């Protein structure tokens, strides 16, 4: 029932897929469709320096495991900071993974109805109950996701994550292909074309507006996969810190390249007309290729949800000190959690709100604050790690600065949006 390092590499690459709709098997899904929108909002493209900031996270996490012997993130927090540390880590990991699952199911809710209407030969305005996104997401959850979540371990991970990653690579290839197939003029298919076509088809390298505040939280959300590192690491055969670090570095670099290319080519296809969900901009009713991409992305995110669900459920059991497997408890906790997640998907208005909340809170905690704090506390008496401790302290300061800037801006945008809605 153990995985080899190849399976783990695929998992990291595919980790959180709302991670194409935001970083790895699951990250690949989350990131690829929304990071395009973030590129438009800020026009600041990640570079090698940004990647260098992302990779050291694993050094803190894996180094902590080596120094404490803990294989569960919550236990590590408890051993280092007591009950408070355990609760903080549980809250951050649960919020992050729940946000990722919500973003994946949002993709199912938004994209599956269009795909079914296309296959049925119906117009987009067709509104029967069986093409209602809310109904479809419930059917998918309890028909496909629930049976996978009821499994006892992650032994199937290498197969589903590998397939999900292939779907995301296919998505990237299509985005690049469509950039050279769709003329810039087509961004105004249904309205009067601006006289200044040259300006409309010229990329803007720096732009700030009310949505810019969501760019950094979304990027942070896309690259988080910390909560699943130790659980997956514990299932590897012949595990070692060196092997894990190598897999992590390769995986993050691969995801960075995929996100970078998707964001750049997606933006250069639609420029200022790009939306937060890139697939919605490809409107052709007869485009079988886009239909195939939609189906591939839907399948990818469906297969990724159980991976994140395992982490949330195991964290809950760890917090309740109910780590011994019990079938009835395993089943009813799974069903209750899936019901709650479905209710949130149905009633939360947009993915933007999820990315904003999770990005500035749990993602920031898991990327910057928690790894740095744990490392500084664990190596408090180690005089040989002075340089590493300085870098960890700088990393911690960066996380605090991120919070001080992003949280007020997100709250301000919500307040302005509410005022605008009331005015209309």
pLDDT in tens, 153-175: 766 656 666 777 788 888 899 98
Phi, psi for residue 3 in degrees, rounded to 5: -105, 155
d(CA 291, CA 50): 34
**pLDDT tens track of the chain, all 424 residues?**
333 333 333 333 333 333 333 333 334 444 454 455 444 444 333 333 233 333 333 344 444 455 555 667 778 888 889 889 989 988 988 888 888 899 889 889 988 998 888 888 887 788 888 899 999 999 999 999 999 899 877 666 566 667 777 888 888 999 899 888 887 765 444 455 554 566 677 777 777 766 677 777 877 777 787 666 776 677 667 777 787 778 778 878 888 888 889 888 888 888 877 776 677 777 666 788 888 888 888 888 888 888 888 888 888 888 888 878 888 999 999 999 999 999 999 988 777 777 778 888 888 888 889 989 988 998 888 777 788 889 999 989 999 998 888 888 888 877 777 666 555 5
In a domain, 115, yes or no: yes
d(CA 134, CA 108): 9
Burial letters 376-412, b for 16+ CB under 10 A, else e: bebbeeeeebeebbeebeebbebbeebbeebbebbee
Query: Running DSSP on this structure, what letter comes out for residue 2?
Result: P
Residue 235 belongs to domain with CATH number: 1.20.1740
In a domain, 76, yes or no: yes
Domain extent at residue 67: 5-417
Instruction: Name the one residue in this structure whose structure tokens are 């996701």.
Output: 145
In a domain, 321, yes or no: yes
Torsion of CA 89, 340, 355, 189, to 10 degrees: 160
Token output for 75: 């236990």
Query: Running DSSP on this structure, what letter comes out for residue 360?
Result: I
Cβ atoms 61, 371 nearer than 8 A: yes
By the 10 Å C-beta count (0-12 exposed, 13-18 middle, 19+ buried), 87 is classed as: middle
Token output for 173: 């290839």
In a domain, 423, yes or no: no
CA 78 to chain CA mean position, Å: 26
In a domain, 220, yes or no: yes
d(CA 217, CA 37): 13
In a domain, 83, yes or no: yes
- Give the total number of structural domains in the chain: 1
For 194, left (φ over 0), alpha (ψ -120 to 50), or beta?
A: beta
Cβ atoms 222, 262 nearer than 8 A: no
In a domain, 422, yes or no: no
Cβ atoms 304, 17 nearer than 8 A: yes
CA 153 to chain CA mean position, Å: 22
d(CA 272, CA 118): 27
- Quote the pTM value: 0.73
Element (H, E) at 228: none
């Amino acid at each position: 029932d153990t995985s080899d390092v190849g399976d783990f590499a695929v998992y990291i690459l595919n980790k959180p897929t709302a991670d194409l709709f935001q970083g790895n098997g699951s990250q690949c899904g989350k990131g690829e469709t929304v990071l395009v929108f973030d590129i438009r909002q800020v026009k600041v493209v990640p570079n090698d320096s940004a990647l260098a900031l992302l990779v050291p996270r694993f050094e803190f996490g894996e180094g902590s495991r080596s120094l404490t012997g803990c294989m569960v993130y919550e236990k590590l927090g408890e051993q280092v900071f007591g009950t408070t540390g355990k609760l903080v880590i549980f809250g951050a990991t649960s919020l992050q993974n729940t946000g990722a699952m919500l973003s994946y199911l949002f993709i199912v809710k938004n994209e599956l109805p269009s795909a079914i209407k296309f296959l049925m030969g119906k117009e987009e305005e067709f509104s029967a109950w069986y093409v209602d996104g809310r109904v479809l997401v419930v059917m998918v959850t309890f028909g496909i996701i629930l049976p996978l979540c009821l499994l006892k371990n992650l032994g199937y991970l290498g197969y589903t994550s590998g397939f999900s990653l292939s779907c995301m690579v296919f998505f990237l290839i299509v985005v690049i292909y469509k950039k050279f197939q769709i003329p810039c003029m087509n961004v105004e298919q249904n309205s009067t074309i601006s006289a200044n076509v040259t300006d409309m088809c010229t990329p803007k390298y720096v732009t700030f507006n009310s949505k810019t505040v969501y760019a950094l939280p979304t990027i942070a959300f896309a690259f988080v996969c910390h909560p699943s590192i130790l659980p997956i690491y514990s299932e590897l055969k012949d595990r070692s810190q060196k092997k894990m670090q190598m897999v992590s570095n390769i995986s993050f670099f691969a995801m960075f390249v995929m996100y970078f290319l998707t964001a750049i080519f997606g933006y250069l296809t639609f420029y200022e007309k790009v939306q937060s969900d890139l697939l919605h901009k490809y409107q052709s009713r007869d485009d079988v290729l886009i239909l195939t991409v939609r189906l591939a992305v839907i399948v990818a995110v469906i297969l990724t949800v159980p991976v994140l669900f395992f982490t949330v459920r195991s964290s809950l059991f760890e917090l309740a000190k109910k780590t011994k497997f019990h079938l009835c408890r395993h089943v009813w906790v799974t069903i209750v959690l899936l019901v709650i997640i479905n209710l949130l998907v149905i009633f939360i208005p947009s993915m933007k709100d999820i990315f904003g909340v999770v990005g500035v809170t749990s993602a920031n905690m898991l990327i910057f604050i928690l790894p740095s704090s744990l490392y500084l506390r664990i190596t408090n008496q180690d005089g040989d790690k002075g340089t590493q401790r300085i870098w960890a302290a700088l990393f911690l300061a960066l996380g605090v600065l991120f919070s001080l800037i992003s949280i007020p801006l997100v709250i301000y945008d919500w307040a302005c949006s509410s005022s605008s809605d009331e005015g209309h």
